[in-house]
Structure 1
Amino acid sequence: MSSHSRRLPSGWEIESEDFEYVPLRLPPDVTRVSASMRLAIQAEFGGWELSRVRLYSDGSRRVLLKRRKTTHHVPDPAI
């Protein structure tokens, strides 16, 4: 299943003329430090920035990354 086809939390809009978005799910076994490092790598090499994070009671996280739309293709993050 593609990360784009997953249902987003309410209020998380991903329609924009200026930005593209990618939703991610981080499982409960990913620590906060590890998640931070993974997202920092995506920011550095993919141009993504953190838009939203939602932490669930089971320890999993839903993350929404965004970046300005570009004319050249950069692959989605594979966290």
Structure 2
Amino acid sequence: MQGLGLITRAATHLIGWAFDVRGMSRVEWRNDVDNHPSKAFAKRLGMTLDGVLREQFPHQGRRRDTEVWSLLAAEWRARP
């Protein structure tokens, strides 16, 4: 099922619900810095990279860095 856009469509629906129904002002996406598909996903949704949490969690014997991406309600509503 990979490559069919299912996750992007589901996330789009959830983000719209978070902003329009729940009244949230910001959503976040976090991913390992080496997870390039996850990074591309955040970019497809129009998110901005806020920064990196260095050595944020242990995985397979080493500390991993985490990227933090965000999207604001005003940015979501202004998208094409």
Q: TM-score range by the shorter chain?
A: 0.3 to 0.5
Question: Which structure is higher in RCO with an 8 Å CA cutoff and minimum separation 6?
Answer: 1
Instruction: Report the structure, 1 or 2, having the larger strand content.
Output: 2
Higher helix share: 2
Highest Rg: 1 or 2? 2
TM-score by length of 2: 0.39
TM-score w.r.t. length of structure 1: 0.40
